[in-house]
Structure formats: structure tokens, C-alpha cells
């Protein structure tokens, strides 16, 4: 996607040693960057604060990463906000997260409008508490005509649930006589995922040091590059993002083939 050089330079001014835009190949910015935003709770408890404070700080970090990705001309930024397994947390924390999601989306609508960001949700948002769901639907509609970066928020998302849902949808087509089983191929499965129409993530960033995918985009990350940092999500910022992209650009992606050198 196109980017504005002046705004980009301004956003990444005063870079720490070794991290400036001059190291970046603007022709090879990942089209789709995905963040597993982990470590909010530990960020808070390590400071003697309540976990809730970590989630609030995590929202500030997400705002910075959204802006940074827009400045860099990224096509799609996706972010894992709530997994199908996160319902297992204490009710109080689930309630707080659902409240924060709704509040944040309203608060950040001006930013999304100003930056021309379109919003889509990955996951079953129909099963969310009514207010959160309504705010999501309202916000999504408000941003529908935007033509800039796509922000894909994974909320009540699980990779296995998503693949089972795709299988169910395809099975329905077969049962209705609209599809022959031998026409089921990778493209058809992909078209029945929440990410239909979006490019697969090229770079997946996980904060807080965990070396696992936690049921995230299982189909779509088949050939993604991983970047894992010990930084807790609330401390992840534009410089962390730049470091992740530089790491990505230093790698050779072979997709099962042989080295090009
Ligand atoms: C990520 O931070 C946010 C959500 C999963 C909602 P965590 O809440 O998982 O923070 P940690 O991993 O307990 O530190
Ligand atoms: C993954 O983080 C889900 C999100 C970031 C929303 P978790 O904190 O839920 O993952 P686990 O439990 O450590 O695998
Ligand atoms: Mg966690």
C-alpha cells in the first residue's frame, strides 16, 4: 500500500541506535502483519498493579502499532485480542475485557476515520455480550467505506473453531447439491475462513516471550515468519515493530523450495 514519506519520517524520527528507517527496505514491508498481543497481565503484576491496568495499557500500545502500520503502508494489521479459550478466565476479567473492547472502539473511531482504516473482525462476534457486539457492528459500519489499511481484530477467535466452521459451511453447500466434493480445494477452504479476501500474514509477532501459537490463525500462518520478543505487549512500540520488520527482511523465505542464492 502507498505511504506518505513525510508522515512516515515524522513518526519514526529520533530512532534508537541501529533502528532507523534507513535500515528498512520499503519495497519489502510485509503486506500483512499480525500481533499476538500477550503479556498485559504480567506487565501489570510486575509493577504491582491490577491486571486490568495491563489491559488498558495494552490498548495504548495497539493504538501506536495501528498508527505505525498505517505510516509504513502495511495493507493488513491483525491483532489477537480475545481467544475462544479466554472465556476460561475469571468472569470479572472477561467482563472487564468486553467493556474495554466496546469503550476503546468508540474512543478510537476518530483515529480510524482520520487514518482511513477499515475494520473487520475475525471470530464469532455474534456470541459476545450484546453491547460489545452492537458497538463492533456500529464501528465496523462506520469504517466500511474506508480504503486504507485493514485492521482485523480477532475477538472470540479460535483457529480450530474457524476451520470447523469452514468445513461446516462447505458441507452445507455439498448437501444443497451446489458443490461437488472434489471441488473442495485450498482456495475454497480459505474463502470460508474469517480472513476471506485478506492476504495471509507474512509476519507474526508474539510479545511476552511465549513460544506457542495459542490457536491463532492456524491455517493462515502456514508460511508466516515468526518474531518473538520478551517485551510485554503494553511496552511494545513503534521501535519494537521496526525491529520485527528488520528481522523479517533479513530472512530468506523459501516456501519449501531451494535457496535462491
Ligand atoms: C494478553 O495479555 C491479552 C489477552 C489475552 C486478553 P494476557 O492477559 O494474556 O497477559 P498475561 O499473559 O497473563 O501476562
Ligand atoms: C493468546 O494469549 C490470546 C491473546 C493474546 C488474545 P493467551 O495469554 O490467552 O495465551 P496462552 O494461554 O498463554 O497460551
Ligand atoms: Mg497471556
What percent of the chain clears pLDDT 70, i.e. is strictly above it?
Answer: 99
pLDDT reported for residue 118: 98
Taking phi over 0 as left and psi of -120 to 50 as alpha, with beta for the rest, 37 belongs to: beta
Q: Which of 210, 221, 236 to mutate to test the pocket of ligand 2 (most atoms within 8 A of CB)?
A: 210
Residues 1-18 have a mean pLDDT of: 94
Is 106 in contact with 135 (CB distance < 8 Å)?
yes
pLDDT reported for residue 151: 98
**What are 246's three cell numbers?**
528488520
Q: What are the phi and psi torsion angles at 118 (to 5°)?
A: -95, 140
Question: Model confidence over 179-199: pLDDT tens digits?
Answer: 999 999 999 999 999 999 999
Q: Does ligand 2 lie within 6 Å of residue 156's CB atom?
A: no
CB atoms within 10 A of CB 213: 16
Question: Model confidence over 133-158: pLDDT tens digits?
Answer: 999 999 999 999 999 999 999 999 99
Average pLDDT, the chain: 97
Cα–Cα distances (Å) from 160 to 74, 157, 187, 193, 194, in that order, read: 27, 9, 18, 11, 12
Whose CA is closest to atom 12 on ligand 2? Answer: 214
Whose CA is closest to atom 3 on ligand 2? Answer: 83
pLDDT reported for residue 1: 79
Residues 238-254 have a mean pLDDT of: 97
C-alpha angle 115-120-121 in degrees, rounded to nearest 5: 135
Taking the C-alpha atoms of residue 133 and residue 110, their distance in angstroms, rounded to an integer, is 19
Residue 259 pLDDT grade (very low, low, confident, very high; cuts 50, 70, 90): confident
What percent of the chain clears pLDDT 90, i.e. is strictly above it?
Answer: 97
- In this structure, the dihedral spanned by the alpha carbons of residues 24, 30, 36 and 41, taken in order and rounded to 10 degrees, is 20
Q: How far apart are the first and last CA of the chain?
A: 28
Which active-site residues does the annotation give?
A: 38, 86
Residue 244 has pLDDT above 80, yes or no: yes
Residue 260 has pLDDT above 80, yes or no: no
pLDDT reported for residue 249: 97
State the DSSP H helix or E strand holding residue 155, giving kind and residue range, or none if neither. strand 150-157
Question: What number of CA atoms fall less than 13 Å from residue 52's CA on the CB side?
Answer: 11
Residues 55-59 have a mean pLDDT of: 98
Residue 243 has pLDDT above 70, yes or no: yes
Amino acid at each position: 500500500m502507498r505511504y506518505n514519506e513525510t508522515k512516515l519520517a515524522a513518526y519514526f524520527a529520533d530512532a534508537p541506535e541501529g533502528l532507523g528507517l534507513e535500515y528498512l527496505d520499503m519495497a519489502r514491508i510485509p503486506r500483512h502483519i499480525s500481533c499476538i498481543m500477550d503479556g498485559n497481565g504480567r506487565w501489570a503484576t510486575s509493577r504491582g498493579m491490577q491486571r486490568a491496568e495491563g489491559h488498558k495499557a495494552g490498548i495504548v500500545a495497539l493504538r501506536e502499532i495501528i498508527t505505525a502500520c498505517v505510516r509504513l503502508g502495511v495493507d493488513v494489521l491483525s491483532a489477537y485480542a480475545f481467544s475462544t479459550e479466554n472465556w476460561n478466565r475469571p468472569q470479572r476479567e472477561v467482563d472487564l475485557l468486553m467493556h474495554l473492547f466496546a469503550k476503546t472502539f468508540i474512543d478510537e473511531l476518530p483515529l480510524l476515520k482520520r487514518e482511513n482504516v477499515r475494520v473487520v473482525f475475525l471470530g464469532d462476534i455474534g456470541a459476545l455480550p450484546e453491547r460489545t457486539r452492537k458497538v463492533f457492528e456500529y464501528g465496523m459500519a462506520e469504517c466500511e467505506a474506508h480504503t486504507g489499511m485493514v485492521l482485523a481484530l480477532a475477538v472470540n477467535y479460535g483457529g480450530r473453531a474457524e476451520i470447523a466452521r469452514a468445513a461446516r459451511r462447505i458441507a452445507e453447500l455439498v448437501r444443497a447439491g451446489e458443490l461437488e466434493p472434489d471441488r473442495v480445494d485450498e482456495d475454497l477452504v480459505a474463502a470460508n475462513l474469517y480472513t476471506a479476501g485478506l492476504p495471509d500474514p507474512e509476519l507474526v509477532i508474539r510479545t511476552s516471550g511465549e513460544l506457542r501459537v495459542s490457536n491463532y490463525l492456524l491455517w493462515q500462518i502456514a508460511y508466516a515468519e515468526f518474531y518473538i520478543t520478551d517485551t510485554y505487549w503494553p511496552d511494545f512500540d513503534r521501535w519494537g515493530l521496526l525491529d520485527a520488520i528488520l528481522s523479517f527482511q533479513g530472512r530468506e523465505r523459501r516456501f519449501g523450495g531451494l535457496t535462491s542464492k
